[in-house]
């Protein structure tokens, strides 16, 4: 059975076809070999996926199951989620019981913008393009972890990697229809607060060119299940923000 040929992006190497691409560069034009710092060598990663926006009911159900796990007995075979558990522990009793009952009203209130979730299944497909860079020594030290595609999807939220030099440059989420309109995407990038807009435009123009054909778009990794988890986690974070317990903001471009 013939397999689809790799889909190449100009100036990027395939790490995982239709999912992760890499490029190497130096942060300086001059290298002092008498005092060489390997951190000037960096590797950039473009991580691509497609997804359907989760519904409010799906997010509420995910939170319900997560909280049930948090409150019930756990074992080494099913450890608590290290991202969700601290946030669940800070929930007020009234909110906790509401989420345990699968009440979606709270999620609906927090998701009024529709950036990440929809009230009802809309059948739309979306693309996410995430680009980040790491120093060469950090990437090498990750060893076996970086040989699995999940490592690249998880890296953006890994605080340890961030402290050691991982830098996230952009996350772009767009409706598939806009993937067919490179000029529309270019205008959104130019009007955004992103830095290095010229580089972002170059990358995304190539993404549009390669993955706009339906057959090629369908080859992207389906991350719909991951989106449910991300939306649930963001809902918990927003609940904490309401109580001024945590702070933070997103720096994404989201095109519906």
pLDDT at 248 over 50: no
pLDDT at 204: 95
Residue predicted with more confidence, 242 or 66: 66
Q: pLDDT confidence of 238, banded at 50, 70, 90? A: confident
29 and 69 in a single domain? The answer is no
Give yes or no: residues 102 and 165 share one domain.
Answer: no
- Are residues 193 and 108 located together in one domain of the fold? no
Q: What is the pTM of this model?
A: 0.85
User: Is there a domain that residue 148 lies in?
Assistant: yes
Q: What is the pLDDT of residue 25?
A: 84
Q: Is residue 72 part of a domain?
A: yes
Say whether both 129 and 33 belong to one domain: yes
* Per-residue pLDDT reduced to its tens digit, 46-103: 999 999 999 999 999 999 998 888 877 665 555 667 778 888 888 888 888 888 888 7
Average pLDDT for 222-239: 90
Instruction: Please report which confidence band the pLDDT of residue 29 belongs to, taking 50, 70 and 90 as the band edges.
Output: low
Q: Residue range 153-173: average pLDDT? A: 92
Q: Higher model confidence: residue 141 or residue 108?
A: 141
Measured CA to CA in angstroms, residue 241 lies from 86, 91, 109, 207, 245 at distances of: 14, 11, 14, 35, 6
Range of the domain at 98: 56-120+229-248
pLDDT of residue 251 exceeding 80: no
Q: What is the pLDDT of residue 82?
A: 76
- In SS3 terms, the chain reads as CCCCCCCCCCCCEEEECCCEEEEEEECCCCCCHHHCCHHHEEEEEEEEEEECCCEHHHHHHHHHHHHHHHHCCCECCECCCCCCHHHHHCCCHHHHHHHHCCCCHHHHHHCCCCCCCECCCCCCCEEEEEEEEEEHHHHHHHHHHHHCHHHHHHHHHCHHHHHCCCEEEEEEEEEHHHHCCHHHHHHHHHCCCCCCHHHHHHHHHHHHHHHCCHHHHCCCCECHHHHHHHHHHHHHHHHHHHCCCCCCCCCCEEEC
CA angle 135, 201, 116 (to 5 degrees): 85
pLDDT of residue 96: 87
Position 108 in a domain: yes
Together in a domain, 75 and 115: yes
Residue 149 lies in a domain: yes
**7-16, 88-97, 225-234: the lowest-pLDDT one:** 88-97
Q: Is the dihedral of CA 13, 150, 204, 38 positive or negative?
A: negative
Mean local confidence (pLDDT), 13-32? 84
Residue 127 has pLDDT above 70, yes or no: yes
| 113 in a structural domain | yes
pLDDT of residue 31: 63
Residue 7 falls within a domain, yes or no? no
| 104 and 185 inside one domain | no
Say yes or no: 172 and 89 in one domain.
Answer: no
- Asked if the model's pLDDT at residue 35 lies above 70, the reply is no
Domain count of the chain? 2
Residue 154 lies in a domain: yes
Answer yes or no: is 70 within a domain: yes
Is 129 in the same domain as 199?
yes
Co-location of 71 and 42 in the same domain: no
Residues 47 and 131 in one domain: yes
Confidence of residue 247 (pLDDT cuts 50, 70, 90): very low
pLDDT for 73 equals 67
- How confident is the model over 186-211, as pLDDT tens digits? 999 999 988 889 999 999 999 999 99
Q: Give yes or no: residues 130 and 168 share one domain.
A: yes
- pLDDT band (50, 70, 90) for residue 168: very high
152 shares its domain with 203: yes
């Amino acid at each position: 059975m013939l397999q689809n040929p790799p889909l190449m992006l100009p100036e990027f190497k395939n790490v995982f076809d239709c999912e992760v691409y890499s490029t190497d560069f130096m942060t300086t034009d001059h290298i002092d070999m008498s005092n060489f710092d390997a951190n000037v060598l960096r590797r950039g990663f473009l991580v691509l996926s497609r997804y359907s926006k989760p519904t409010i009911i799906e997010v509420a159900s995910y939170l319900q199951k997560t909280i049930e796990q948090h409150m019930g007995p756990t074992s080494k075979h099913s450890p608590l989620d290290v991202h969700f558990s601290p946030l669940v522990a800070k929930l007020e009793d009234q909110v906790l019981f509401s989420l345990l009952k699968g009440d979606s009203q709270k999620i609906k209130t927090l998701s009024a913008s529709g950036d990440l979730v929809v009230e009802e299944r809309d059948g739309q497909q979306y693309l996410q393009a995430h680009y980040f860079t790491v120093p060469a020594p950090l990437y090498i030290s990750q060893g076996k972890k970086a040989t699995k595609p999940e490592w690249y999807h998880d890296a953006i939220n890994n605080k340890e990697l961030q402290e050691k030099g991982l830098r996230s440059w952009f996350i772009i989420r767009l409706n598939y229809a806009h993937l067919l309109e490179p000029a529309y995407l270019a205008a959104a990038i130019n009007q955004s607060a992103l830095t290095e807009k010229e580089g972002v435009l170059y990358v995304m123009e190539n993404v549009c060119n390669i993955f706009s054909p339906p057959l090629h778009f369908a080859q992207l990794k389906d991350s719909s299940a991951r989106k449910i988890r991300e939306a649930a986690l963001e809902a918990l974070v927003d609940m904490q923000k309401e109580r001024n317990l945590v702070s933070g903001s997103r720096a994404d471009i989201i095109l519906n």
